[in-house]
Structure 1
């Protein structure tokens, strides 16, 4: 920064915000290699029918974060899946959106969805992929290199699906949701995501 105290921006970028530059850098750093994109597309083809994600629009992506975020007081509470659905149910019905992609480290979330959808007379059509659950930062660090590689590919698959969703529902405290939100902004998706949290908590206590 000392070299350019008064940087000159090309006219097309003059009115861009700091957040815009941040997400462009994020998008560049997270760009998929061709073999990674092939893996993601093959995974989607395996679990989605029809096998192309573009054929499932419009859909809404829901990410539910719990476990260690609650344990370490970064979240004031764990929210039920119903609390997430209550945020957007009216809006998606108005827009005739029936497909929903659900992602969470908590494997019980899919049982919650079954119960919710029964109450809603089967309105929602579930999109999901078979992925490893109960993975958090601490457990990820304890894995072998090979295990981490597998989980990373699963994460990148989730990221691709959530970033391409027409609407996004997430947990404000989740770093993952902020990553997805940044990727979506870089893709031109400017609608803020739904979240049941009304404040962001940060606990700087060192984790064991």
Structure 2
């Protein structure tokens, strides 16, 4: 299901021009109305759902969510992790092993066994913490849980406390991604946490049991040795590859933890992504479909076969490639890092284009209106970005998010984050936590060798 937010958020690209192809417009509209479950649109055209051709850029969210839930359930002879793309050499060292073992740690065979201990914690809720900071704090709590042999149970997530998240998913990370542990473990952990003796005996701990220093910068799990000592240098700053810095272990761990926490999207998030892709890429997808023939005349009865359900459904949705992710962080971040104008980011983009001349598409994410306005000066590039109200001036991120409302200020950054992580190349500012997390998704998403070009250093270099 697609929430009302999807109709408020408009997605566009800079190169969009007046399109006189009625067939393309009609097909994009048909897909859009299918996403919104608006069957009246098709009835007016004397069409059924089955008459609309498959959209290469969209997922069947109901089907894919069932598949993901099954893959996230402990069954005999299960092979993990199905959420990792690429081989070992295309990811951070030991990514496949680590992801599998985090999942096993977080999904005990018997949560009610008296030896199982828990760390129950809310997400950070203070307005000074942006989405990136909240996720980073949870990666620290996951590290503590693994070090102390506890199951992490994440409780209240304030950014999901809105009308788009229905039922039990309201106020929960599980609105957007499959939860960090099983439902049985969650229920048992909450039941145990209601008993004073469980806290006194240490069966349950919470954030109050640990200092901020330990949560944000404590020791990372050493179960897998020191794989960060042999990570490939693929980050470029000022024309040089950065091979070492003070917190290589933290960089490796946060990438692993974020990949685990975001391993599977829910049906709700799938719907958000479909809406984004249809508005951003729908016209190009429709042109591809129409090039194969007149879809309105070819009304053969479509029968879904086993290969469609069990094999092809696992293919990632189409997006125009190659595409470059550019995240421009400015605004109040100037108090923490050197901020750069769009021109610096585009110089790095041009360096990539010099090597890969077929690259001319950019997924642009930023909170600043001036950045979107300036992107229009780069006619050789095709920009895709969200048409959401952006900052003018240097108001705080907390003020900006408050002005958008909780649903919008949560949904559009997460969609941008996921779109960015699917890119082929990356430019950003690693002094930004958000860029740092995107880089982590790159390095556990089969894209180590895509490289990352940064306009500045993170605080540990």
How do residues 28-47 of structure 1 correspond to structure 2 at under 5 angstroms?
28-31=260-263, 32-47=265-280
How do residues 122-141 of structure 1 correspond to structure 2 at under 5 angstroms?
122-134=379-391, 137-139=397-399
Q: Distance in 2 between matches of 1:66 and 1:113?
A: 15
Which residue of 106, 110, 114 maps to 2:368? Answer: 106
Deviation at 1:86, TM superposition (A): 0.9
How do residues 1-208 of structure 1 correspond to structure 2 at under 5 angstroms?
1=147, 16-17=227-228, 18=249, 19-31=251-263, 32-48=265-281, 49-51=283-285, 54-70=318-334, 73-76=335-338, 78-95=339-356, 96-115=358-377, 117=378, 122-134=379-391, 137-139=397-399, 142=402, 147-190=405-448, 191-197=450-456, 199-201=457-459
Q: Distance in 2 between matches of 1:124 and 1:37?
A: 28
Q: Normalization by structure 1: what TM-score?
A: 0.76
Cα distance, 1:29–1:2 mapped onto 2, change above 3 Å = closer
Cα distance, 1:189–1:82 mapped onto 2, change above 3 Å = same
Partner SS state of residue 454, structure 2: coil
Q: Distance in 2 between matches of 1:158 and 1:2?
A: 34
Unaligned runs of 5+ in 1: 203-208
Q: Distance in 2 between matches of 1:20 and 1:54?
A: 29
Higher relative contact order (CA 8 A, sep 6+): 1
Cα distance, 1:152–1:90 mapped onto 2, change above 3 Å = same
Cα distance, 1:20–1:103 mapped onto 2, change above 3 Å = same
Q: Normalization by structure 2: what TM-score?
A: 0.37
Q: Distance in 1 between matches of 2:372 and 2:403?
A: 25
Unaligned runs of 5+ in 2: 1-146, 150-220, 229-248, 286-315
Runs of 4+ with deviation above 3 angstroms? 13-22, 140-144, 199-202
